[in-house]
Amino acid sequence: MNCGIIGLPNVGKSALFNILTENKARSSNYPYCTVEPNTGVAYHKDKRLDKLFELFDASKKSYPYIKFIDVAGLPPGASKGEGLGNRFLGTIRDSYCLLHLVRDFSSPDVSRFKPESSTPFRDLELVETELFLADLQIAERRLDDNSESEYWNKTRIRLMKQQRPENDEEGILLSAKEQIVLVNITTGNKKPEIDRENVIYADIKFLEELKDMAPEERKEFTGMLADWESGLDEIMVKVKDMLDMVTFFTVEGGKEVKGHNIKKGKSVYEAAGKVHSDMQKKFIKAEVYNYKSLEETNYNTRRLRESGKIRMEGRDYKVKDGDIIKIMFG
């Protein structure tokens, strides 16, 4: 499963993609610089894994990751093919959720799309309209094939009113996907109010500059900024929630601490397959305890075991977020 990054041209999508995935996708001050979609993985620098790495005196750590897709800007008319719009709308139909980037910064070096009417909320609505129109085309094509379909008739009416479909039987409707709105702001400016759920604020240009600093220099610099937050951790947590995933941890050979993302509700038997296929094939049982329980004992594993919080579980146990799992296999 992946998250698609969308928005108008020149709002900072490719720059955000590069920051999240530590990639080097092209990013320039003109529309459609991104022609081929950029795909990459973003590692979630989970602080729980950092603590486990320290606790177990491990030599290596591997963070859990989420896959992102960055497509070209979607201007008005994208649903009719403007600016290669249909091609990119098709690419993000496979995305499970959307990270919708809107602009609230001024820069003489980065032109603004339709500057005469641009506000963050207006820009948001422009792109959302294209999603509704693209979905409406699909609904009408389905009705051409079966005009009696109750589902597509109801969906068509909702889309014409720019209302989100009540459900998405085929998993292809863009307007039905959950969205996170990320406002690209200038640090220190007042945050605009956006009438949406799941709104995050980040200064992407500033994050780009920080990325090029040495780690110690970066830490010192951000420490001087009162109440500064990058927004990156919040993005990863919200995307993980929207993908309906949980994170579990393994300590392999006492040397490597690894984080793994898995769909909520999956069993420890399925989790074993995420670690290694042999572990799943030869699964016997699993030793399980949760990070919260470990935290409550002040990271004392002996006290944790004495309190009975370390359990042996069979293959049907449902993995919870923060579980630390040791797979026993033949």
* CATH number, domain containing residue 107: 3.40.50.300
Domain with residue 303: its CATH number is 3.10.20.30
CA–CA dist 183, 204 (Å, integer): 9
Q: Are residues 126 and 184 in the same domain?
A: yes
The amino acid sitting at 317 is Y
Please give the distance of CA 50 from its chain centroid, rounded to a whole number: 20
Q: By residue range, what is the domain housing residue 292? A: 265-329
- Specify whether 137 is located in the same domain as 272: no
Q: Tokens for 109, please give them.
A: 């070096």
Same domain, 92 and 33: yes
pLDDT of the residue at 48: 96
pLDDT on residue 30: 45
Regarding whether 177 and 76 lie in a shared domain, the answer is yes
- pLDDT at res. 110: 55
Asked whether residue 105 falls in the same domain as residue 167, the answer is yes
Are 300 and 195 contained in the same domain?
no
- According to DSSP, residue 143 is labeled H
With tokens 């449902």, the residue in question is 318
Residues 74 and 222 in one domain: yes
Q: The tokens 């400016």 sit on which residue?
A: 189
- pLDDT means over runs of 10, the chain (330 residues): 88 89 60 66 93 93 93 68 60 89 73 61 87 92 94 95 89 92 87 88 86 74 61 88 95 89 96 93 96 95 91 96 95
Note whether 214 and 281 are same-domain residues: no
CA separation for the pair 151, 166 (Å, rounded): 10
| Cβ density class 132-155: b for 16+ within 10 Å, e for less | bbbbbebbeebeeeeeeeebbeeb
Q: Which two tokens stand for residue 320?
A: 């919870």
Q: Can you give the pLDDT at residue 74?
A: 73
From residue 71, give the alpha-carbon distance in Å to each of 108, 212, 237.
24, 24, 22
278, 226: one domain: no
In three-state secondary structure terms, 324 is strand
Please answer whether residues 139 and 156 qualify as being in contact, where contact means their C-beta atoms are separated by less than 8 angstroms: yes
150/229 same-domain check = yes
What's the distance, CA 118 to chain centroid?
26
Amino acid 75: pLDDT:
66
Identify whether 50 is part of a domain. Answer: no
Q: Does some domain include residue 181?
A: yes
Q: Determine what percent of the chain falls in helix, strand and coil, rounding each to the nearest 5.
A: 40, 25, 40
Residue 199 and residue 286 share a domain? no
In a domain, 13, yes or no: yes
Total domain count for the chain?
A: 2
DSSP structural state of residue 64: -
Based on the fold, state whether residues 166 and 75 are members of the same structural domain: yes
Measured on CA atoms in the order 145, 147, 151, 153, is the torsion positive or negative?
positive
